[in-house]
Structure formats: C-alpha cells, structure tokens
Amino acid sequence: MSKKFNYHGLIAMAAISLFACNNTSQQTDSSDAAAASQTTADAATACVSALEKKSFEETIDGKTTGLYVLKNNNGACVAITNYGGRIVSIVVPDKNNNPTDVAVGFKTVKEYQGPGDAYFGALIGRVGNRIAKGKFTLDGKEYTLATNNGPNSLHGGNKGFSAAVWDATQPNDTTLSLSYVSKDGEEGYPGTLTANVTYTLGADNSIRIDYKATTDKKTVVNLTNHTYFNLNGEGSGTILNHLVQINADKYTPVDATLIPTGKLEPVAGTPFDFTKPTAIGSRIDTVNNIQLKNGGGYDHNFALANAGPALHDAAEVTGDQSGIVMNVLTTEPGLQFYIGNFMSGKNSFKSGAKDDYRTAFCIETQHFPDAPNQKNFPSIVIEPGKEYTSTTVYKFGVKK
C-alpha cells in the first residue's frame, strides 16, 4: 500500500499542473484568485493521478476529445473524457486520508479506442446490457441490431454511446454536462435520440449522474455508466475481499449467453444473497451453481427492493484495505453486478497495473437486461414528447 502512495506522491507535481490547466476558476478575474488558488491547491493535493491532458486530445469523427476535471474542497477529484463520457479517475481519501484512485482507467484516449477496452468508465447506450439475438419488436415492426457479443447485442452495438464523442460543457469546478445526438437508425435503433448526461461532484464526495433523453419516434433506451471500481485503489489486486451489500431480494437468472430467463428468483439461500455485507469472493466457488457458471462469476442483474421513482439505496461496497465505502443510490429498478470476469491481464491501466482478472467490479444501475423482449420486466420504451430521466449517485466515505 505504501508503495502505491509513494508512487502517487512522485507524480503529484505533474498532476498539479494538469489540474491547474483544467481549473475553470482560474479563468476568472484576479478578485477570485485567492479563493481559486485555495480550491486548486486542495484538490490538487488530492488528485494525484498520472494523467496527461494532451493524451486525451484527439479528433475523432470530426470532433475534439479532451479531459475534464471536477474537484471539490473535500479531497475528491474526478477526471472524465468526453470520448464515451468516460470516468477515467476518481480520487478520494482513504481511512488514513491518503488520496486513492478508486476507478480503473487508461491514460490515453487511444487505449479507450483499442481492443483492450471493456467499456471502462463509459456511458452506455442506447441500451445497456444485452438484447437477445440482437432483435426486438416495437409496434409490430422488428428491429435488428449488431450481434457483438456471441449471439446477442451488448451495450448499444458495435459503436454504442461508449464510443461516441459527446459535446461537453464545464460550467464550474464540479459540473460537466455532456450531450450526444444518436441518429434515427443508428446501430439499428429507431428514432433520433438526444441524450444529456450531467456529472456533478458534491461537497460530500458524491458523484451524481443525471441522465435525460428525448426522441422523435418511439424507441427504447436504457442508459448506464460502466465504471470499474477497486476501492483499495487501482492496481491493488483482487476485489474478492471487498464487502458488498445489495438491497435486492431477487435477481434475474440468465442462460449460458447471459440473457435473462425472464424469471425473478429469490436470492435467499443462494450465493446471490448480498442483503447483508458479504465478501464478494466468499461464495464465488460454490460448486454446481449454474448461475455462477453461466456468468463466469457474478455478472447478473439484481432487482432492487424499494425501487420507485425517487432515489433509493441500492448498494454499499467497502474496500477491505482502504476502508473506503461507496454507497450507490439510484432511481433505477435494477443494477448489474459484474466482477471483472472477462478482465484479461493483457492491458495496462494508468498506474501501470494490468487489467487482471477480477481486479475491479461494476455496479451498473439500469432497467433489466433484454427488457424489450421480456414482457414481465419494466419497460424501456420511450415516446416523443416524454422525457426519459434517470439518476444515480456514487457516494464515497470511509469506515475506520
């Protein structure tokens, strides 16, 4: 652990200049200079990540990508690129007040475009998770999507929102607004969909993600964020000892291609019972559990208790070494709990650590997978004149 923090310490100076470049407060007049420089100093102390702004500056599809940094006065900092709206880094204090980067990510935009990417940090759309056989029917018309994951369509198809360059506006140090217009017929989906996503870093070290979308034709939409977390810090090894609590009495079992069977099954008495804080790995090797076999581990949608239109508690995860606690609140009915079963160890993250098997996990808040083909699941259909909205909050604190 101390090695990691020393490493971070060594690169702190580089990080300070990066964050100074991004500090919108510095563009204000000198009357604000003292306050702005205080803000910069506090955040820069916390934001010790080996990112170079220019490694995120590319022209893709005729649009410019860059790196945007949100920071607060409480030692938290979030770096986001508008390529795929991806969270590249989240630095928060651990139980000893050491700045810790809890989101894994690459240090160049090129790596996010390469074969080693697995939707790291990305905004996912138009439809998160899988659609069986890449087909669904709306008002009697069948739509065909790319089958980019075995026989199924995954995370929006060949070029989903994770590979789009979003228009970005950063009005202040704690807010980034992104927008993307997905054309009628893009990736096979009907209707022009205008998506707006706002990331807000709270003074309480929460990252709030507000999603909105409108369409000009009836369509389907299910947006999420695909950040891979390691609450002990990127490069700290397995996440199997993290403690997880998920407020779900039921989950949606899947077939061998990870398409839900359509049933909602109780978690009680199974390795899917996370209703009390439980180490991720404590039941991972349960023999003959067909669901763990089908998922290659946990890669399942949990149906959240207390789901409703308001924000509700969805999950709590604690890093066993760092003491960092992440609380997840959402307006969504479900979450995909994925523990990096497909991480290959062939690629290097920004710290130099490899993307080794199960060294990060995702909590993707969402409507249930394959919803367009599952009549018992909450609908993801939206119509013109009605706005799609969704909010998720990832809040970071510590347990000593």
**120 lines the binding site for ligand BGC (CB under 6 A):** no
Q: Which residue type is seen at 367? A: H
Show the site string, 152-191: x = touches ligand BGC by CB under 6 A, - = not. Answer: ----------------------------------------
**CB 338, min distance to ligand BGC, A:** 4
Per the rule left: phi > 0, alpha: psi between -120 and 50, beta: everything else, 294 is alpha
333, 335, 301, 299: which is closest to 315 by C-alpha? 335
Q: How many helices (H) and strands (E) does the chain have?
A: 5, 28
- Active site includes 142? no
The full length of the chain comes to 400
**332 lines the binding site for ligand BGC (CB under 6 A):** no
**40 lines the binding site for ligand BGC (CB under 6 A):** no
Number of residues that bind ligand BGC (CB under 6 A): 9
Q: Tell me how far apart the alpha carbons of residues 337 and 334 are, in angstroms, rounded to a whole number.
A: 10
Per the rule left: phi > 0, alpha: psi between -120 and 50, beta: everything else, 307 is beta
Residue with smaller CB distance to ligand BGC, 119 or 229:
119
**337 lines the binding site for ligand BGC (CB under 6 A):** no
- CB-based burial label for 270 (10 Å; 0-12, 13-18, 19+): middle
* Residues pairing with 211 in the sheet: 197, 390
Residue with smaller CB distance to ligand BGC, 245 or 294:
294
Q: Tell me how far apart the alpha carbons of residues 206 and 76 are, in angstroms, rounded to a whole number.
A: 9
Structure tokens at 6: 């020393």
- Active site includes 242? no
Q: Determine which one of 111, 332, 364, 367 is catalytic.
A: 364
Which of 101, 117, 173, 299 forms a contact with ligand BGC (CB under 6 A)? 299
**CB 370, min distance to ligand BGC, A:** 11
**CB 123, min distance to ligand BGC, A:** 13
Q: Tell me how far apart the alpha carbons of residues 256 and 223 are, in angstroms, rounded to a whole number.
A: 24
DSSP letter (8 states) at residue 42: H
Which of 153, 364, 382, 392 forms a contact with ligand BGC (CB under 6 A)? 364
**338 lines the binding site for ligand BGC (CB under 6 A):** yes
* CA-to-CA separations, 342 to 52, 385, 387, in angstroms, rounded: 28, 39, 35
DSSP H or E run through 243:
strand 243-246
Which of 39, 72, 129, 205 forms a contact with ligand BGC (CB under 6 A)? 129
Residue with smaller CB distance to ligand BGC, 173 or 299:
299
* Residues pairing with 390 in the sheet: 211
Which of 119, 161, 180, 199 forms a contact with ligand BGC (CB under 6 A)? 119
Q: Which range touches ligand BGC (CB under 6 A), out of 14-22, 80-88, 170-178, 335-343? A: 335-343
Beta-carbon contacts of 370 under 8 Å, excluding residues fewer than 6 positions away, are 129, 130, 131, 132, 259, 260, 377
**Is 181:372 a contact under the CB 8 Å cutoff?**
no
For the chain, the farthest-separated pair of C-alpha atoms sits apart, in whole angstroms, at 67
The residue assigned the tokens 């706005």 is 387
**294 lines the binding site for ligand BGC (CB under 6 A):** no
**CB 119, min distance to ligand BGC, A:** 5
Q: Determine which one of 8, 226, 300, 367 is catalytic.
A: 226
Q: Cis (ω within 30 of 0) for the bond into 126?
A: yes
User: In Å, how far from its chain's centre is CA 261?
Assistant: 25
**103 lines the binding site for ligand BGC (CB under 6 A):** no
Which of 76, 77, 118, 163 forms a contact with ligand BGC (CB under 6 A)? 118
Show the site string, 230-269: x = touches ligand BGC by CB under 6 A, - = not. Answer: ----------------------------x-----------
Q: Which range touches ligand BGC (CB under 6 A), out of 27-35, 39-47, 336-344, 370-378? A: 336-344
Residue with smaller CB distance to ligand BGC, 99 or 160:
160
Q: Which residues bind ligand BGC (CB under 6 A)?
A: 118-119, 129, 258, 299, 336, 338, 342, 364
User: What residues are annotated to the active site?
Assistant: 226, 364
